[in-house]
Chains A and B, each alone.
Chain A
């Protein structure tokens, strides 16, 4: 099983019926010239990458951008179109008044598998007490949270909210809450590794490609900035493959992760088994 834990479906054709909506998404995400993708193309891309499942992540930026970029309902509709290929996450704006009701609805009624939050774009610190109720809802439903961490290319983002160290208090106060620091918290990958070795409920994904090509950057970050032994020996149960497609290159990243010097069993964990554990199962 090969799972991409980090995919943004903002430009999937079935949820881009209005030109204005697509334009808003281009500007909100600062992703341009990529067109919209029919599902058939997504499936072709998955086949070329060797991927079995994609985790689809929405973005609710109600208080900072006026609306959600992709809604939870749109995620549900995409999952219903390909339930054997797509895993749907929810998003809420944690500073919006109705965030808890929205999250309950996303888990109880829309049956979404986890929550995506973006501290840099939604402008909150992970240890902010206003988030406490959201964390409790995730624990109640046994749902993980995938947090943006590290550099964000999106507009109106401040990296200070998403430095890995900002997640320590959350990991400490909620040891049963599974959290993922997306993008491995790049460039602070050693801080992320510190949290992971200390807290077994902290995961990280590999959705970083800010310099060079996939092979070069993965080699740099996952074998040099982080010695390959750190992941292969100590963090092997907490790293998940993610691409951040369409920002980054899913096919080349999926190939590059398999060309590093991990043990075969470690690679299988990174490719899918850790994601299944993080998600609390695929069903």
Chain B
């Protein structure tokens, strides 16, 4: 059986790490699937999904690390009018940070529960906010 769900959120910062573990666990619990996997995928190309420990210090280090790798002030080529949008592309750093974090994560489901390590939390990563964002949750199993 495959259960598909999605949820949206309004991000409030340019760059932000938003913990979404509770939303994923709730979706798994409501799915009725006892054994299988859950996949969490962002629908956007300037956002990411990552798994890490939910500590303020680590969130700050991740933010600093990504900003060091992908500085705002750099002659990126993705800075021009895009005919398909009719607007200016100005978010290369968002795309590149999303490239680094990836767009998804996967966890096993055993006995109706998402199996994860004690230190693991799921983060939605905003790299071009504020924006309205949607996250897909696919639950596969029986």
Chain A residues close to B by CB (< 8 Å): 29-35, 37-38, 40-41, 44-45, 47-48, 153, 209-216, 246-249, 251-252
Contact = CB atoms under 8 A, between A and B. Distances in A.
A218 B49 CA distance: 34
Contacts of A249: 87-88, 90
10 contacts: A32-B84, A33-B85, A34-B85, A37-B132, A45-B130, A48-B130, A210-B88, A214-B90, A249-B88, A249-B90
B115 interface: no
A153 B132 contact: no
Interface size class of B (residues with CB under 8 A): 20 to 34
Contacts, number: 61
B10 A247 contact: no
Contacts of B13: 48
A46 to B, nearest CB: 10
Interface of B (DSSP majority class): loop
A83 to B, nearest CB: 22
B81 interface: yes
B93 to A, nearest CB: 10
B79 interface: yes
A44 B90 contact: no
Contacts of A211: 80-81
Interface of B: 10-14, 73, 75-76, 79-81, 84-88, 90, 129-132
A45 B128 CA distance: 11
Given A38-B132, A212-B80, A31 B86 contact: yes
Contacts of B80: 211-212
Contact of B87 (A41, A213, A216, A246): A246
A249 B85 CA distance: 13
A35 B88 contact: no
A216 B86 contact: no
Contacts of A47: 12
Contacts of B12: 44, 47-48
Given A38-B10, A44-B12, A251-B14, A209 B130 contact: no
A211 B85 CA distance: 14
